[in-house]
Amino acid sequence: MSTVAAAEPLSFQDLILTLHHYWSDQGCAILQPYDIEVGAGTLHPATVLRALGKKPWKAAYVQPSRRPGDGRYGENPNRLQHYYQYQVILKPNPDNLQELYLNSLRAIGIDPSLHDIRFVEDDWENPTVGAWGLGWEVWCDGMEVTQFTYFQGVGGIEVDVVSGELTYGLERLAMYVQGVDNVYDLKFNKEGLTYGEVFLENERQQSEANFHGYDVAALKRRFEDMEREAAHFLTMKGPQGQPLVLAAYDQVLKASHLFNLMDARGAIAVAERQSYIGRIRDLCKACALAQVEHERATA
């Protein structure tokens, strides 16, 4: 089935490289994935923390996203407990962000004269980091391929300057571009390597560990350790008198991932859920406040 105009659809890695080139040309810093497990590209400090304050910022990066509860042992063609998001943040959002975005789709071989591209209302919210924004899910022929958000708040604080955030679901987009029904059949590169050869075993092993392996009591202890550590870093000062927001935020991310693991193990009762989310959000808010106050004090 031919679903795109390009003679030879992009491989998974070429899709990433194409987006890197494209956003690099738009003046973005091309960053590498953050080295802590996160549930979404937004959580990378290059988005969450940089969206605060007034300083302009442009960055793009790939972020592996871990959603332990979404694991399906490699048996579901669409769901993964580890997948990739392509994240772009432009602060302040340029006036022509929609056009820039549509051109990025053209760059990867999606022709809007053949396909139905739509901006469908979706108000984005991430309660664990107290972030929210207005924007759309972008649909390509009825499939959500990107989350397009104008950040309005982060860490419970209304932003000074609005950032435009684009989050592309890379596997979905690649499946669409390559006309593939099963994520494991994706061409990873032009040498015949498939996505399954790279990641299927990872899905099988990690799903079992996520659902049956982790020691819940240990997860809970580590969560509490991280929570304490985050609070502790926020009381410390760096060499220039700054709060240790980056170190504290790392602990928040770790706590957040530990919560997701507990959730996947079925260890979070309905009544506890909000309380855990609230604890993570409070810490994130404290990080955001410390950063904003410091920036204001030194401005």
**Which residue lies nearer to another protein by CB, 97 or 129?**
97
* Burial degree of 280 (CB within 10 A; 0-12, 13-18, 19+): buried
Minimal CA–CA distance to 208: which of 265, 258, 269, 260?
265
Contact flag: residue 161 with another protein (CB under 8 A): yes
List Cα–Cα distances, 17 to 14, 20, 23, 57, in angstroms: 5, 5, 10, 21
Stretch that binds another protein, among 12-20, 63-71, 194-202, 263-271 (CB under 8 A): 263-271
**In the numeric block, which tokens belong to residue 192?**
């015949």
Exactly one of 95, 212, 241, 299 binds another protein (CB under 8 A); which one? Answer: 95
Exactly one of 69, 92, 156, 196 binds another protein (CB under 8 A); which one? Answer: 92
Residues 194-233 that bind another protein (CB under 8 A): none
Exactly one of 152, 194, 207, 291 binds another protein (CB under 8 A); which one? Answer: 152
Distance of alpha carbon 205 from alpha carbon 225, whole angstroms: 27
**Do 150 and 73 form a contact (C-beta atoms < 8 A)?**
no
* Burial degree of 270 (CB within 10 A; 0-12, 13-18, 19+): exposed
Contact flag: residue 143 with another protein (CB under 8 A): yes
Q: How many residues touch another protein (CB under 8 A)?
A: 39
Contact flag: residue 29 with another protein (CB under 8 A): no
Angle formed by the axes of helices 216-235 and 270-298, to 10°?
20
Contact flag: residue 299 with another protein (CB under 8 A): no
Exactly one of 50, 66, 67, 115 binds another protein (CB under 8 A); which one? Answer: 115
Minimal CA–CA distance to 15: which of 108, 84, 88?
108
Q: How far is the CB of 111 from another protein (least distance, A)?
A: 8
Contact flag: residue 127 with another protein (CB under 8 A): no
Q: How far is the CB of 1 from another protein (least distance, A)?
A: 6
**In the numeric block, which tokens belong to residue 103?**
């051109």
Which residues contribute to the site for another protein (CB under 8 A)?
1-4, 78, 92-95, 98, 102, 112-121, 123, 133-136, 140-143, 150, 152, 161-162, 176, 181, 269-271
